[in-house]
Amino acid sequence: MKFFQPRTLHKRIMLAIALLQLLVVGLFSLYMLIQQVGNEITNRQVLGHKMIAITAPAVTHLIEFDPRGIDAYLGAMLGDRAITAITVKDSEGKLLFQQAKEVNPLHAVAGWFKAAEFKPTVTTELKSARGSLGLITLQLSNDVLNEKTHTLLNDVAYLFMLLLGVDLIAIQLLVKSVMAPLTPLAAMAREVSQGNWDKTMLAAADNASDEVRNLSDAFVESAKTMKRQIRELEETRGQLAENELKLRNLVNNMQEVLLEVDQSGHVTFLNPAWEELTGYATETTLHRPFTEFLAQPKHQSYFEAGRLEHIPLTDLQLEVRARDGKALWMQMSTSLQRDDSGAVTGLISTLEDVTETLHLQELQHQHEQDLYRLTITDPLTGVYNRRHFDDLLENLLHMNLHKNLPLALVIVDIDGFKFINDTYGHPVGDQVLRTVANTLRANEHQGGAVARIAGDEFAVLLQNVNAEEANRIGHMIHADLNRAIVPLTVGQLTIQTSIGIAVAPLHGKTPLDLVRAADVALYHAKQSGRNRVDTLSKERGEAIMDIFSQGFELRNAISAGMILPFMQPIVDLKTRKVFAYEVLTRMRRGDAFVPADDFIPIAEDLGLIRDMDMFVITQSLTLIPKNVHLFVNISLNSFYAPEFTQQLRDLLHSPIAKGRAITLEFTERQTTEMSAEFIQMFNEIRAGGCNVALDDFGVGYSTYSYLRQLRPEFVKIDGSFVLQLKENQEDVKIVEQIRELAHVIGAHTIAEHIEDEETIAMLIKMGVDFGQGYYFGKPVNVQDKHWLTADLV
């Protein structure tokens, strides 16, 4: 039945139209046939009636006049093709004539139509003047009708064929004209299908209809798009192939292990890095549970079936057991694989060997910890250093005050440490420091800390300890330290300490206030004979507040420029010429000037002395003419801050100090350790071109060793030995000794507090070089124009 399923449009249209045509022409032919056959049937009837109308009078006549002639007449009539039988009956029904021929059957086609009208016989009455003579019946023959029908059928068939033929030719032409433009399209399509894209540029035929043209254009367009897309697709495919190659190379050459595990935890993919790192062949590892290669059960649990979901995607380090038994640490980065419903179907991970890195990290961590320990501890004693103590104090104080808890600070100062160092040497000094540190550490309170905050000073912080408890602990520490023994090559050494205690918030709420309070307590302990513990009492706490308020005044005075240099001449005793001027500080309070003695100790206690000294020396160098030899007092406390030494050195090298004679006076108000660092510092400052004078010589602690170590250019004999020189023989002896001592080291002597002529004479006699005192001139404000005097009588 292929014919009824034509593949081409052309054939389909042809077939459709042909069928339609067949139907139309068929119907038309059928119509024609029906018309013609109907007509013929009618004609036959009419002919029948005509014949009977002609025959009836003749037969009537013969019956009436020549009955024998009937047979001949009707027999001749029967010879007509249209009649097959004739019957004549008289009025009584007696058969007068009957004759019949053989009857041909009716043509089948004729039989289909007008059956009602198709009557094979016609009968009429034989009427004469006498009335009815009987009936004549003619039986009509089918032959004529059959013949006609046959002819008709042939005609209709011819007509049908003709029409069909003409139509088919017309349709063929019509369809061709419609379909013809499609041919190039079909050709295009064929070319396109064979990949000959350039042919797509073909246009539709000129005579093509708009629709076909549009179709052709659209086709060309779509072909172009397709061509572009295919080109892009090919490019993409090329790229993909290239990428795949790259990817494969990458995966194969990756240093990290690429691992794929299915949802049951079995290995489904591994790159060569696995074998390289672990020693297990990839083939033998595949399809085995990954847990077999993990050393730790905790790590194994991540790869158990159904648990993959809980694996940390980053930040997971696994211990993998290598084939040779070595532990490998691998950093794992994972991406979970899921199906459409979101269920985990496996994972893909990279495993980076971080064994070495971890090892290095550990070493580095160790190293950093060591470094950190070094930065926060004192290398000699192992306790915290000053810097870390400052941080600790600040943090603990903040924390304790916030929680409303007390914090005690115990400052332990080794009595006579300098003496120990000087006498027994530094190794013993170090041993003493270590012993103190160990004893303090042994007493370390929970949450507290021990630090070495200065050469011979230690601090202990006690958390949540009130004044009473702190005092008890302080005494305990003191007793322990007293019991401590440092063995010497010959004999042994006991340690004596002075301890100052202050408690926050009672004695201060800031680190500075608390340290100062403890310092003041320590100061009192030392003042009252050393080797004791001193806790600030309530009264002393108030005294400290007093000092602090003075400190406040001092601080303001420094920043407001209310600290002024006063000048007192230093005179050559023999020539009475002014040799130099000593700068003595005064603080302005309203109209009055507060003498240095009233505020310098406080400035030292409160740590303000540094700023003050720097301020005074800078001001003096600025205000006083360059040709004046200046003696400037500097507190040894100022040197505790390394930046002060630097500042002073810079100042002495600055233009305002250049070419000027400067002598720095040092006095020992509190015990100050003359360490090697201190000596070096002095020498550095001296290298800047200034002299050193030891002030107040004869009073204070261990000034002889100062003399030996510092080798000053000037020794100032303390005023207390000069004031009563005339009356006191002892003082004469002391002054003489000091002078001698000074001359031994090549220093000049300056006597302080000369108030009369007699004393001058005595001093000259004793060989003292210079002098100063009210007799020559009281300290005068530098802003007073008349302070500068060339000669004095």
Q: Residue 696 interacts with ligand C2E (CB under 6 A)?
A: yes
Q: Residue 663 interacts with Mg ion (CB under 5 A)?
A: no
Distance between CA atoms of residues 605 and 588, nearest Å:
20
Tell me, residue by residue from 541 to 580, as one string, x for binding to ligand C2E by CB under 6 A and - for no binding.
---------------------------x------------
Sheet strand arrangement including 267-270: 267-270, 257-262, 344-353, 327-338, 316-321
Q: Residue 635 interacts with ligand C2E (CB under 6 A)?
A: yes
List the one residue from 541, 779, 780, 782 that touches ligand C2E (CB under 6 A): 779
Q: Least separation, in Å, of the C-beta of 669 and Mg ion?
A: 11
List the one residue from 56, 753, 760, 762 that touches ligand C2E (CB under 6 A): 753
Copy the structure tokens of residue 364.
Answer: 């580095």
Residues 6+ apart with CB under 8 A from 342: none
Q: Which residues pair with 770 in a beta bridge?
A: 572, 750
Residue 525 in 3-state DSSP? helix
Q: Name the binder of 29 from Mg ion, ligand C2E, none, CB < 5-8 A by kind.
A: none
- What number of other Cβ atoms are within 10 A of residue 427's Cβ? 9
Q: Name the binder of 755 from Mg ion, ligand C2E, none, CB < 5-8 A by kind.
A: ligand C2E
Distance between CA atoms of residues 674 and 136, nearest Å:
183
Q: Residue 597 interacts with ligand C2E (CB under 6 A)?
A: yes
- Contact positions with ligand C2E (CB under 6 A) in 704-743: 719
Phi/psi of residue 781, each to 5°?
Answer: -60, 135
Stretch binding ligand C2E (CB under 6 A), from 361-369, 373-381, 590-598, 734-742: 590-598
Q: Least separation, in Å, of the C-beta of 752 and Mg ion?
A: 5
Kindly state the number of chain residues that form the binding site for Mg ion, as judged by CB under 5 A. Answer: 5
Burial letters 150-177, b for 16+ CB under 10 A, else e:
eebbeebeeebeebbeebeeebeeebee
- What number of other Cβ atoms are within 10 A of residue 649's Cβ? 15
Residue 109 in 3-state DSSP? helix
Distance between CA atoms of residues 259 and 308, nearest Å:
14
Tell me, residue by residue from 678 to 717, as one string, x for binding to Mg ion by CB under 5 A and - for no binding.
-----------------xx---------------------
Residue 779 in 3-state DSSP? coil
Copy the structure tokens of residue 388.
Answer: 């870390």
CA 482-488-489 angle, to 5 degrees, is 165
- Positive or negative torsion for Cα 211, 216, 221, 225: positive
Residue 89 in 3-state DSSP? strand
List the one residue from 149, 471, 633, 759 that touches ligand C2E (CB under 6 A): 633
Q: Which of 443, 447, 516 is nearest to 481 (CA)?
A: 443
396-404 own/partner pairs: CB under 8 Å, 24+ apart: 396/449, 396/461, 396/463, 397/504, 397/509, 397/510, 397/511, 397/514, 400/463, 400/464, 400/504, 401/504, 401/505, 401/509
Residue among 293 and 599 whose Cβ is closer to ligand C2E: 599
Give the C-alpha distances (Å, rounded to integers) separating 519 from 359, 462, 524: 48, 16, 8
Stretch binding Mg ion (CB under 5 A), from 537-545, 598-606, 626-634, 720-728: 626-634
Residue among 431 and 585 whose Cβ is closer to Mg ion: 585
Stretch binding ligand C2E (CB under 6 A), from 44-52, 122-130, 511-519, 592-600: 592-600
Tell me, residue by residue from 640 to 679, as one string, x for binding to ligand C2E by CB under 6 A and - for no binding.
-------------------------x-x------------
Say which DSSP state 673 is in.
Answer: -
List the one residue from 145, 152, 584, 664 that touches ligand C2E (CB under 6 A): 584
Residue among 178 and 562 whose Cβ is closer to ligand C2E: 562
Q: Which of 556, 565, 635, 544 is nearest to 589 (CA)?
A: 556
Q: Name the binder of 37 from Mg ion, ligand C2E, none, CB < 5-8 A by kind.
A: none
Say which DSSP state 255 is in.
Answer: S
Residue among 292 and 755 whose Cβ is closer to ligand C2E: 755
Instruction: Please check whether residue 719 is in contact with residue 752, taking contact to mean a CB–CB distance below 8 angstroms.
Output: yes
Tell me, residue by residue from 5 to 44, as one string, x for binding to ligand C2E by CB under 6 A and - for no binding.
----------------------------------------
Tell me, residue by residue from 749 to 778, as one string, x for binding to Mg ion by CB under 5 A and - for no binding.
---x--------------------------
Dump the DSSP string for 398-428.
HHHHHTT--EEEEEEEETTHHHHHHHH-HHH
Q: Least separation, in Å, of the C-beta of 674 and Mg ion?
A: 19
Stretch binding Mg ion (CB under 5 A), from 324-332, 523-531, 603-611, 633-641: 633-641
List the one residue from 534, 731, 752, 769 that touches ligand C2E (CB under 6 A): 752
Residue among 600 and 657 whose Cβ is closer to Mg ion: 600
Copy the structure tokens of residue 440.
Answer: 């303090």
Q: Residue 385 interacts with Mg ion (CB under 5 A)?
A: no
3-state helix, strand, coil in the chain (%, to 5): 50, 20, 25
Q: Residue 613 interacts with Mg ion (CB under 5 A)?
A: no
Q: Least separation, in Å, of the C-beta of 613 and ligand C2E?
A: 5
Q: Least separation, in Å, of the C-beta of 415 and ligand C2E?
A: 24
Q: Name the binder of 87 from Mg ion, ligand C2E, none, CB < 5-8 A by kind.
A: none
List the one residue from 208, 462, 477, 596 that touches ligand C2E (CB under 6 A): 596
Residue among 568 and 702 whose Cβ is closer to ligand C2E: 568
Q: Residue 755 interacts with ligand C2E (CB under 6 A)?
A: yes
Q: Name the binder of 256 from ligand C2E, Mg ion, none, CB < 5-8 A by kind.
A: none
Instruction: Please check whether residue 661 is in contact with residue 580, taking contact to mean a CB–CB distance below 8 angstroms.
Output: yes
Q: Residue 665 interacts with Mg ion (CB under 5 A)?
A: yes
Q: Least separation, in Å, of the C-beta of 706 and ligand C2E?
A: 14
Kindly state the number of chain residues that form the binding site for ligand C2E, as judged by CB under 6 A. Answer: 24
Distance between CA atoms of residues 309 and 749, nearest Å:
91
Q: Which residues pair with 692 in a beta bridge?
A: 664
List the one residue from 14, 634, 747, 780 that touches ligand C2E (CB under 6 A): 634
Taking the CA of residue 606 as centre, how many other CA atoms within 13 Å lie in the half-sphere pointing to its CB? 21
Residue among 402 and 786 whose Cβ is closer to ligand C2E: 786
Q: Using CA atoms in the order 676, 677, 683, 686, what is the torsion angle rounded to 10 degrees?
A: -140
Residue among 424 and 775 whose Cβ is closer to ligand C2E: 775
Q: Least separation, in Å, of the C-beta of 781 and Mg ion?
A: 17
Q: Least separation, in Å, of the C-beta of 696 and ligand C2E?
A: 5
Q: Least separation, in Å, of the C-beta of 672 and Mg ion?
A: 16
Q: Name the binder of 406 from ligand C2E, Mg ion, none, CB < 5-8 A by kind.
A: none
Tell me, residue by residue from 327 to 346, as one string, x for binding to Mg ion by CB under 5 A and - for no binding.
--------------------
Residue among 600 and 763 whose Cβ is closer to ligand C2E: 600
Stretch binding ligand C2E (CB under 6 A), from 41-49, 356-364, 703-711, 747-755: 747-755
Copy the structure tokens of residue 613.
Answer: 């000294």
Residues 6+ apart with CB under 8 A from 785: none
Instruction: Please check whether residue 605 is in contact with residue 547, taking contact to mean a CB–CB distance below 8 angstroms.
Output: yes
Q: Residue 595 interacts with ligand C2E (CB under 6 A)?
A: yes
Q: Rule CB under 6 A: which residues touch ligand C2E?
A: 568, 584-585, 595-597, 600, 609, 613, 616, 633-635, 665, 667, 695-696, 719, 752-753, 755, 773-774, 779
Q: Rule CB under 5 A: which residues touch Mg ion?
A: 633, 665, 695-696, 752
